[in-house]
Amino acid sequence: MTTYVITVPGTFLREVPESVCSDIGRSLRPRDPRNTELGENEELSLLTVEEDGRFAARVEVGATDRSQAEAEAVRLVSRALRDSGLAEEEASLGAAVVTGIDSEF
């Protein structure tokens, strides 16, 4: 099993209150990349939101390969958005990207 730090970019398609962003962060907190050496060293933020609605969620995922890790990260972020009260059409997600890998040999 390999630990990946995955970045999932997206755009809020309407103005999102700070309380919703806090809810998203709380939902993703167990997957905070700061729990990894890379996340700690790079001071990666769990959720970054720009003024124009663009955002990036960074999560730690354990998976056997990159494809599985990216798919799991998108699933986690999608669920966090939905659990925070956002409908699918209110926040579009981009392609997940591997930000870091920490494998044990």
pLDDT, tens digit, for every residue of 35-67? 666 656 566 788 999 999 999 999 999 999 999
Distances, alpha carbon 51 to alpha carbons 41, 48, 76, 86, in Å: 26, 10, 23, 18
pLDDT at 30: 86
Calculate what percentage of the chain has a pLDDT beyond 90.
75
Whether the predicted pLDDT of 26 surpasses 60: yes
Rounded to a whole number of angstroms, the distance between the first and last alpha carbons of the chain is 10
How many Å apart are CA 79 and CA 10, to the nearest integer?
14
pLDDT at 32: 79
Mean pLDDT across the chain: 89
In eight-state DSSP terms, residue 90 is G
pLDDT at 51: 92
